[in-house]
Amino acid sequence: MSVTAFASAEEALSHIDELAIDLAIVDRIPHDPEVEHLVSRLLDRPDAASTHILLLDRSPGEGWTPDDARITSISSMEEVQAFIQRSQDRQTSETRNTPEPGSAGIASTKRACVLVIDDSPTFRVAIRAMLAGRWDVVEAELGSQALPLLQAHAIDALLLDNGLPDSSGIDICRQIRSRMEYATLPIIMLTGSDREESVLSAFEAGADDYVVKGGSSVTLLARLGSHIRRYRTEIAARTAHANLRQSEIVSDARRDLLAVVERKTDELQRANDGLERFAALASHDLQAPLRLITSYLGILSARATVLDDRLRSYLDHAIKASSDAGLLVNRLLHYARSGWTDTTKDSIGDSGQIAGSAVSTFAQTLVETGGAIEVRPLLDVLCDPLCLRQVFENLLGNALKYRSPEPPRIIMGCVADGGLVRFTITDNGMGVPEKDRSRIFDMFHRLHGADIPGMGIGLSLCLKIIEARGGAMGCDPAPGSGSVFWFTLPAAVPTSFVPGQAVA
């Protein structure tokens, strides 16, 4: 749709024969013969059958009132806009998703939005009618509304009247250009004058184009479309550049982080290797004198025949202490081995078979105590079989060691827990007080002193093995009496078991 606006009926009459008119919006002024003349001329044109006239009658009932089906009388600009909107809806529904010529490659698929600032309601309605099939339109009549509307809407181009009631379009253009975020926004000045000084002033203020009102609407559409395409292409290019730069920053940060992790991993590995070498050396250097002490104490005990009971007790305690010291050195060396946390040897282990092997270790103890260990079906996990057996043996050994006066009853089971398997070892033993349930995994922490043999290292080693594989370990009270020790390890394969459901 082409739109031409005139400031008066007299001006319109001088150009009426030059135009092909589909819709005429006439602002009726009572008792103005030129308006009546203009309407009559419109109705008498050769193409009048296809012309519709909207007669904006602000004072209904006064003066001349035409009676013609081609004329719709309205009383406000809101009614003009509603009429045009209804007419444009059909066209818009067909063209809304049609890309503009030359717009291929532009990232945004959302319709462009044009801000029109002009104090003439008639001109704004005409512009909306012209643009509605192509772009969305936001309107304003004052220059002071420009910045608030630019901030509230995603505007792709601004049509700015030079003669506004509150300020000149030139001043508004300068204000907009002073804002960095609008440095490249297309601004097209609208004016009724084509004087060279007016054109130069507009360009000096930062306008991108200059259009004289009443000129070709086809030219205005072409210019506006070109500016919108250029602006959207610039935005797409800036966005792509920003995304690329962000990607480069993230990539650099990831590379630096990986380098730090690799360096720290190497340092940790060297420290672990050094610790293991130190533990082996210390074990060797300590075991030699301890073995010598134990041997001489054994010789003294065998040959001493005149010792009273008190001295004999001292000698027995010394022999036991030296033996325990040697055992402690061996356990510390055992704990310091880096192999417990080396997950490169992990494989899919048959948990049931590994548990059976661990149970066989305590066959004699079970006979002596009248105890029993029930091994329920166990899910396979991803773990070094030697490490898993070490955990099983330690927990079973503790369950037998810290038994109650009743014959020990131990149950080994598991439940699926998402991508993990939660193993449980339930006993009817002495139990663990609530205050000690977290501390028992600390190195050298023991609950029963010297009454029950042990070094306080076993549970710390188990926790070390489990945590190295992303699992967890804990202790809960068993129903009735005793304890439930549990730990989690990664499942060997995805399981269809519901989390928390016992394996049968």
DSSP symbol at 127: H
Does residue 197 have a pLDDT over 50?
yes
Does residue 242 have a pLDDT over 90?
no
List, by residue range, all CATH 1.10.287 domains of the chain: 261-336
pLDDT digits (tens, 9 = 90+) for 210-234: 888 877 778 888 889 999 999 998 8
Q: What is the pLDDT of residue 107?
A: 42
Q: Compute the C-alpha angle 294/300/304, nearest 5°.
A: 155
Let me know if domain 261-336 sits in CATH 1.10.287: yes
DSSP symbol at 4: -
Distance in angstroms (rounded) separating the CA atoms of residues 50 and 223: 29
Q: 342-490 has which fold?
A: Heat Shock Protein 90 (3.30.565)
Mean pLDDT, all residues of the chain: 79
- The mean per-residue pLDDT over the stretch 138-162 comes to 92
Band the pLDDT of 94: cuts 50, 70, 90.
very low
Contact (CB, 8 A) for 314 and 297: no
Distance in angstroms (rounded) separating the CA atoms of residues 466 and 25: 83
Band the pLDDT of 497: cuts 50, 70, 90.
very low
Contact (CB, 8 A) for 76 and 123: no
Q: What is the pLDDT of residue 354?
A: 92
DSSP symbol at 305: -
Distance (Å) of CA 443 to CA 168, 388, 397, 438, 439: 83, 20, 17, 12, 9
Give the residue, 79 or 266, on which the prediction is more confident.
Answer: 266
- B/e letters for 6-41, b = 16+ CB within 10 Å, e = fewer, are beebeebbeebeeeebebbbbbbbeebeebbebbee
Give the residue, 355 or 307, on which the prediction is more confident.
Answer: 355
pLDDT digits (tens, 9 = 90+) for 38-51: 878 877 777 666 67
**pTM confidence score:** 0.41
Q: What is the pLDDT of residue 149?
A: 93
List, by residue range, all CATH 3.30.565.10 domains of the chain: 342-490
Maximum C-alpha span of the chain:
149
